[in-house]
Amino acid sequence: MTVKQIQKAKDKLNKQTKNEVFKRIMKYLYVVSDIPLIADDLEDLNDTIFIPELAPALRNVIELLRKQDDIFLTGADKDVFDQQCAIQRAILNNRKEMFLNELTIE
């Protein structure tokens, strides 16, 4: 391999690594932002669609999700909190748009 080919391969590897890091960050942001939404949804539907035997386990899951959310936000500055809220609003708006046509009653 020539020096140019080796450099091109290194650049490609570095780019892939940056892409993988970016993907992990995006997944992290999604999880951190969606945890409170999932907890809220589970809480709202706990006594509606799940069998009664699941209620205690779901309450434990909801409590664990809320604790994890608190851990994520402990010590976070206002920008991080604002960013999480913005992502949550975007997720909720996406849900509304996604199901709007499906749930419209004529």
pLDDT exceeds 70 at position 106: no
Q: What pLDDT was estimated at residue 101? A: 64
Q: Would you state the pLDDT for residue 60?
A: 94
Report the amino acid identity of residue 52.
Answer: P
CA distance 41 to 33: 14
6 within 8 A of 58, measured Cβ to Cβ: no
- How far, in Å, CA of 58 to CA of 74, rounded? 24
Average pLDDT over residues 37-54: 86
The 10s digit of each residue's pLDDT in 51-87 is 888 889 999 999 999 998 888 778 778 887 788 888 8
35 close to 69: Cβ distance less than 8 angstroms? yes
Question: How far, in Å, CA of 90 to CA of 96, rounded?
Answer: 10
